[in-house]
Amino acid sequence: MQRTAPLAERPAPLFVVSDIDGTFLNSKERVSPRLRNVVANMKRQGTVFSLATGRPARWLLPVLEQLVVKPLCVCANGAVIYDSARDKIIRAVELQPAVLTDTVARLASDVTANQEEPALEGVTFGVERVGTSAFDRADELFCVTRSYDHAWLSEEHKEMSLEELVAQPAVKLLVRNPRVCSQELYEAVAPRLNSQHVNVTFSWDGGLVEISAPGVSKQSALQWIAEQMGVTGEDAVAFGDMPNDLEMLTWAGVGVAMGNAHDDVKNAADIITGDNDNDGVAEILETWFL
């Protein structure tokens, strides 16, 4: 850890938020008994808990069924807030068709073929649209171009032309190139886009960049939740492992990077804990909630 003494001196946080993959879940996609116990203790003590993820709401169900709480969840890297207790999307910030069309045009292979950028050669695209529930039909929300190379096994999606893909609003645009790592793809994508029009990040290493509306991040959604609670970032502890967690870690009073985190995340965090297979989240939270 980078610092340990101040934790014991701090009062118990009023708000705790954790990324899911590589952070809250272990490599078997399970919540450990130790962590589940800490979350239960937080609930008893009145601390509010949230999950913040790049996942859509429908991908939260296997996680939520392992918990004793039904939290407000930040989905799609902050573009969506999902109330799991009511199974209801309560807030969504979308990319509009004009922005989607312009973004794709700046990145599509036929436009960039002569720009000496191998990472963009042959990129394909997908979108996540927002519904009203975690039980909405996935093939109405997850849409991809016909040549899209799926990062995860998917049978619940709809294939369509690029023109159809960008014709409706979406909470997230996916840029996919499995031949490069996500860092390399990000470094090719981000300079071609205007940060006033979109926000670019990534949450997985295997050649996938995620694009949201400007100003959208996990922090922006958590700040909205905190305002409803009457607390601030200083009252929060946040856990993460990838660049899409950076804003929320620097916003929180204590930002914690996992031992398995991306180097940029470790450099930005206040504390580095154990990895996700060794209860790194529980290790910190037991300071207050043992």
Strand order in the sheet with 254-257: 88-92, 80-83, 72-75, 48-52, 15-18, 236-240, 254-257, 271-272
Structure confidence at residue 2 (pLDDT): 45
Q: What does the buried/exposed string (b/e) look like for 165-183 if buried means 16 or more CB atoms within 10 Å of the residue's CB?
A: bbeebbbbbbbbbeebbbb
Structure confidence at residue 91 (pLDDT): 98
* Burial class for 196, CB neighbours closer than 10 Å (0-12, 13-18, 19+): exposed
Cβ neighbors of 1 (< 8 A, separation 6 or more) are 271, 272, 273
Q: What distance in Å separates the CA atoms of residue 238 and residue 248, rounded to the nearest whole number?
A: 7
Phi, psi of 81 (to 5 degrees): -120, 125
Answer yes or no: are the C-beta atoms of 128 and 89 closer than 8 Å: no
> Would you give the DSSP letter of residue 133?
S
Q: What angle do helix axes 280-289 and 33-45 make, rounded to 10 degrees?
A: 30
Cβ neighbors of 164 (< 8 A, separation 6 or more) are 143
* Structural domains of the chain in order of their starting residue, each with its CATH number: 5-92+217-289 (3.40.50.1000), 97-212 (3.30.1240.10)
Mean pLDDT per block of 10 residues along the chain (290 residues) reads: 62 97 98 98 97 97 96 98 98 98 88 69 96 94 94 85 97 97 97 94 97 98 97 97 98 98 97 98 96
Q: What distance in Å separates the CA atoms of residue 78 and residue 45, rounded to the nearest whole number?
A: 27
Structure confidence at residue 115 (pLDDT): 58
Phi, psi of 219 (to 5 degrees): -60, -45
Q: What distance in Å separates the CA atoms of residue 253 and residue 244, rounded to the nearest whole number?
A: 18
Answer yes or no: are the C-beta atoms of 184 and 206 closer than 8 Å: no
Structure confidence at residue 61 (pLDDT): 96
